[in-house]
């Protein structure tokens, strides 16, 4: 059954309309492909060019939950950001939900948002959830990037595990630091100490190296670059 067939069946039988089927990394499945066994249904896919809001809160990663603390107005904006980018839907599909303390709700003075498992639900294990949250914040940040650099003439695709997570045009002198710095920022928020290893043309790519040395040509003679991201130690 194609993705388009699944979407048509779901929209015929459900009151909430579904526009997209995505994978665990939020990659959109095209309508004409055979539908994978496990998908997440979403009504929209959005990115956000600015995650600096999260610099104003504190992430606390402990066994069994993730909490975000800060002042009321900033936490309200964080909640709106999660809704805007549909991260709350992704978390729910993985068995986790956003909650607030009852006392804070009564006083209308939000001090903490908790990400906890849904009761009686099959859920992704905690450590994997932390990486998943970090990855989705990373993908949210880079999703709106289309052309990067002063002279974006190289077609570049970036693959993470089995999914192509970015496709756009870059300047030949760009470095992967452009992406790596975003991951470093999000890793600091969530206390993740692992970095990505980048591979192009079978060679490890230092994030600070210009990418022009790894460019190839496709069958039509157009210059292209494919970069693979692997989780380092």
What are 96's strand-pairing partners? 117
116 and 190 fall within a common domain = no
Q: Is the pLDDT of residue 153 over 70?
A: yes
* H or E segment to which residue 198 belongs: strand 196-200
CB 141 within 8 Å of CB 47: yes
Give me the pLDDT at residue 49, please.
53
Give me the pLDDT at residue 45, please.
57
- Residue 132 falls inside a structural domain: no
57 and 38 fall within a common domain = no
61 and 27 fall within a common domain = no
Final residue in a domain of this structure, among 93, 124, 155: 124
Q: Which residue has the tokens 């303390």?
A: 101
CATH code where residue 211 lies = 3.10.20.90
21 and 76 fall within a common domain = no
171 and 197 fall within a common domain = yes
Domain residues for 32?
3-42
Count how many domains the chain has.
3
SS3 labels along 119-165 = CCCCCCCHHHHHHHHHHHHHHHHHCCCCEECCCEEEEEEEEECCEEE
Give me the pLDDT at residue 50, please.
64
- Residue 47 falls inside a structural domain: no
- Residue 19 falls inside a structural domain: yes
Q: For the residues 72-95, what does the mean pLDDT come to?
A: 88
38 and 111 fall within a common domain = no
Q: For the residues 121-137, what does the mean pLDDT come to?
A: 90
- Residue 198 falls inside a structural domain: yes
Give me the pLDDT at residue 60, please.
94
22 and 59 fall within a common domain = no
Q: Is the pLDDT of residue 20 over 80?
A: no
73 and 28 fall within a common domain = no
């Amino acid at each position: 059954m194609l993705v388009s067939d699944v979407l048509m069946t779901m929209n015929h039988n459900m009151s909430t309309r579904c526009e997209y089927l995505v994978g665990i990394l939020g990659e959109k499945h095209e309508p004409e492909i055979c539908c994978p066994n496990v998908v997440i249904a979403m009504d929209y896919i959005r990115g956000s060019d600015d995650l600096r809001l999260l610099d104003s809160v504190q992430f606390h990663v402990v066994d069994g939950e993730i909490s975000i603390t800060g002042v009321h107005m900033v936490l309200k904006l964080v909640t709106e950001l999660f809704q805007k980018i549909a991260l709350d839907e992704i978390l729910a599909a993985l068995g986790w939900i956003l909650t607030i303390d009852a006392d804070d709700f009564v006083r209308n003075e939000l001090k903490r948002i908790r990400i906890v498992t849904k009761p009686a639900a099959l859920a992704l294990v905690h450590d994997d959830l932390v990486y998943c949250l970090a990855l989705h914040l990373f993908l949210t940040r880079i999703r709106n990037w289309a052309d990067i650099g002063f002279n974006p003439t190289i077609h570049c695709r970036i693959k993470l595990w089995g999914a192509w997570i970015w496709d756009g045009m870059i300047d030949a002198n760009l470095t992967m630091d452009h992406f790596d710095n975003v991951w470093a920022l999000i890793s600091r928020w969530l206390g993740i100490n692992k970095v990505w290893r980048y591979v192009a043309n079978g060679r490890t790519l230092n994030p600070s190296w210009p990418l022009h040395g790894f460019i190839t040509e496709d069958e039509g003679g157009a210059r292209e670059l494919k970069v693979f991201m692997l989780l380092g130690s």
